[in-house]
A = this chain, B = another copy of it.
């Protein structure tokens, strides 16, 4: 297992900066924990808030050198790029509409970007960001963190190895219940920006969690979406963005075999906290994974009893084991999965440092995965506007 200090030669830590993630932000703290778990990063600079006082106090809380606390990400990019020991990578954890503007400043200066999802708030921004990333020599890593769970990797590897035959069905869901009532109007900060088109973009639940479910389905199945038909709703009075989506999907044929999918994402389904689930069925077997039980993967070879594969346990393969830390039966969770994305990125960054080829086993979500997510949201919105007509992607 990839326990730090044991299985891999130790590299000098990556100097990391952060944009967004000041006091009180949930996802910034998650990124920092994820960066620390395997000890490949050192946070040394930050534009943690655009409000100078908050940027300063947040920097102090995190123990940053005051000379490397910024209130403007552009300034940070310019200055850090010039420092001898300036940052090598930056984590962007702002609301969606800032992603593009921030990322391009670092990419153009050769600083690797680790960016929260969805890629941007608009498809236009996404295309520009794709261009910026393609033109840069720096890496672009999107934190579709659920692909970091070991048993998700196990599932992907099994599908790729043909263990369930040709894939016919990909069923994805991500129900939540936290927006069942109109909390955005009573000052809940997380709810406020996520339901605001200006900050989130055209998709509500589709952008926030639907992209995760879709990314997971695509990651595990290895399939490309061809077209979709979507029915979106805003069940809560006054809500501007969708809070529930039903999506039918048709994937591109692979080896002559077509596949279909269903995706349900919801923020108004009482009883669901973060009920992400993916189920894939092929000609020879089925696989089921749910975030509620992330260390387990159900595998059913057709005509045989169901088998429960466990993280680091009997039946776990190379793809899962390289991102596992502790023995089977001791659960790893969300933060470890998130850390796996950071650690995979670190492995790529270490290779770049040394001018070596990145190990093909290194797996993290890229700018292209981000583009696919944006196209998915856009297609959902278009289809729903056209009464659920099929939209090619």
Chain A positions within 8 Å of B, measured between CB atoms, are 3-6, 9-10, 12-13, 23-26, 28-30, 32-33, 36-39, 58, 60-63, 164, 168-169, 171, 176-177, 180-181, 229, 231, 233, 235, 244, 246, 248, 250, 258, 260-262, 264, 266, 268-275, 279, 281-286, 288, 291-295, 298-310, 313-315, 325-336, 387-390
For A281, give the chain B residue with the smallest CB separation.
B269
Supposing A262-B264, A264-B262, A304-B315 touch, asked if A329 and B272 sit within 8 A by C-beta, the answer is yes
**Chain A interface mostly helix, strand, loop or mixed?**
loop
Q: List 21 A-B contacts (CB under 8 A).
A: A5-B58, A6-B29, A10-B62, A33-B325, A171-B264, A176-B329, A229-B229, A229-B231, A229-B248, A233-B260, A270-B284, A270-B286, A270-B302, A271-B288, A273-B313, A292-B331, A294-B331, A295-B333, A330-B333, A387-B390, A388-B388
A264 to B33: give the CA distance in the assembly, Å: 36
Contact of A4 among B13, B32, B270, B307 (CB under 8 A): B32
Number of this chain's copies in the assembly equals: 4
A285 to B303: give the CA distance in the assembly, Å: 22
Tell me if A330 and B29 are in contact (CB < 8 A): no
List chain B residues, Cβ under 8 A from A246. 248, 260-262
Q: A177: shortest Cβ distance to chain B, in Å?
A: 7
A374 to B306: give the CA distance in the assembly, Å: 34
Beyond the given A5-B29, A269-B281, A273-B327, could you list 14 further A-B residue pairs with CB under 8 A, ordered by the A residue number? A3-B30, A4-B29, A26-B327, A29-B325, A33-B37, A229-B388, A274-B329, A275-B329, A292-B331, A305-B315, A326-B335, A331-B331, A333-B333, A389-B389
Contact of A10 among B61, B258, B284, B327 (CB under 8 A): B61
List chain B residues, Cβ under 8 A from A23. 5-6
List chain B residues, Cβ under 8 A from A39. 32, 36
Q: Which of A13, A32, A63, A246 has the most CB of B within 10 A?
A: A246
For A307, give the chain B residue with the smallest CB separation.
B305
Supposing A229-B248, A272-B286, A327-B273 touch, asked if A305 and B310 sit within 8 A by C-beta, the answer is yes
* A-B interface, 5 closest residue pairs, ranked by CB to CB distance from nearest: A273-B329, A271-B300, A274-B329, A333-B333, A331-B333
List chain B residues, Cβ under 8 A from A279. 269
Tell me if A332 and B335 are in contact (CB < 8 A): yes
Tell me if B285 and A270 are in contact (CB < 8 A): yes
Supposing A13-B63, A177-B302 touch, asked if A388 and B248 sit within 8 A by C-beta, the answer is yes
Q: Which of A262, A310, A329, A387 has the most CB of B within 10 A?
A: A329
A281 to B270: give the CA distance in the assembly, Å: 6
Contact of A269 among B62, B274, B286, B310 (CB under 8 A): B286
List chain B residues, Cβ under 8 A from A275. 329
Q: A344: shortest Cβ distance to chain B, in Å?
A: 17
For A283, give the chain B residue with the smallest CB separation.
B180
A37 to B325: give the CA distance in the assembly, Å: 14
Q: A387: shortest Cβ distance to chain B, in Å?
A: 6
List chain B residues, Cβ under 8 A from A313. 273, 305
Q: A15: shortest Cβ distance to chain B, in Å?
A: 14
Q: A52: shortest Cβ distance to chain B, in Å?
A: 18
Q: A296: shortest Cβ distance to chain B, in Å?
A: 9
Q: A60: shortest Cβ distance to chain B, in Å?
A: 7
List chain B residues, Cβ under 8 A from A286. 177, 269-272
Q: A48: shortest Cβ distance to chain B, in Å?
A: 9
List chain B residues, Cβ under 8 A from A304. 314-315
Tell me if B310 and A314 are in contact (CB < 8 A): no
